[in-house]
Amino acid sequence: MTLRASISNRFALPALGLALALVSVAQGATTNVTSPGKTNAPAASTNAAPAEIPLPRSVFVLPTKPSEGRNPFFPKSTITTFVTTKPAADKPVSAIADLKLGGLSGTVEHPLAIINGVTFGKGDENTVPVPSGRVRVLCIEIRLKDEIVVVEANGERKELKLRAK
């Protein structure tokens, strides 16, 4: 049994090399040769970038009457127009009214205040989330004994008091 295995191993590698050589010769024979040393090249280069195809743009039009279309998700709906309201541009929204003092902590030398989830020390300035967006707040004074914090936002000053439980 060892004799057969050694004979097959001895001929397996050269047979594999011969098979690969035959395959490469067969592939070379399939090229179209017009004259010795020259082959017919394809008309277009295969390495060239493909031509760019312009992407179509989607256009959505809100129908104003039933003949223009309907909502595919609510086909029985009778709503034809949607009205969005925006705050008046001449009347700025006062975000300082939305500031809430959440808690006080720290030491007497370095008191801290939590305003709308953001921690402030005396003199700290940071942006705070409010229902109308974000507002920049400057912490002017923190009085731990009185549970009052004086802040300034949008040029307005306000005293925030800790809610009584």
44-63 tens-digit pLDDT: 557 777 788 888 888 777 66
Q: Which residues contact 161 (CB under 8 A, 6 or more apart)?
A: 101, 147, 148
Residue 127 has phi, psi (to 5 degrees) of -90, 140
Number of neighbouring beta carbons within 10 Å of residue 116? 18
Mean pLDDT of 97-120: 91
34 in Cβ contact with 41 (< 8 Å):
no
- pTM of the predicted structure, to 2 decimals: 0.44
What does the pLDDT look like over 110-131, one tens digit per residue? 999 999 999 999 999 999 998 8
pLDDT (0 to 100) of residue 91: 47
For the chain, the three-class secondary structure string (H helix, E strand, C coil) is CHHHHHHHHHHHHHHHHHHHHHHHHHHHHCCCEEECCEECCCCCCCCCCCCCCCCCCCCCCCCCCHHHCCCCCCCCCCCCCCCCCCCCCCCCCCHHHHCCEEEEEECCCCEEEEECCEEEECCCEEEEEECCEEEEEEEEEEECCCCEEEEEECCEEEEEECCCC
Mean pLDDT of 8-25: 72
80 in Cβ contact with 71 (< 8 Å):
no
